A = this chain, B = another copy of it.
Amino acid sequence: MKAIVPVAPADPAAAPQPDPPDRVDASFLESLVGYSARRAAVTTMAAVVEQLTPFELRPVDFSVLSLVARNPGITSRQLCQALEVLPPNLVGIVGALQKRGLVERRPHPLDRRAASLCLTAAGERLTADAERAVAQSDAEIARRLPADESRTLLRLLRALYR
Report the nearest B residue to A49, measured CB to CB: B34
A21 touches B161 (CB 8 A): no
A116's partner among B17, B59, B78, B159 (CB-CB below 8 A) is B17
Does A125 have its Cβ within 8 Å of any Cβ on chain B?
no
A154 touches B33 (CB 8 A): yes
Report the nearest B residue to A70, measured CB to CB: B25
Interface flags, A92-126, vs B, CB<8A=1, else 0: 00000000000000101110001010100000000
A residues touching B (Cβ–Cβ < 8 Å)? 15, 17-21, 24-45, 47-48, 59, 63, 66-67, 70-75, 78, 81-82, 84, 106, 108-110, 114, 116, 118, 131, 134-135, 138, 141-142, 144-146, 149-150, 152-154, 156-161
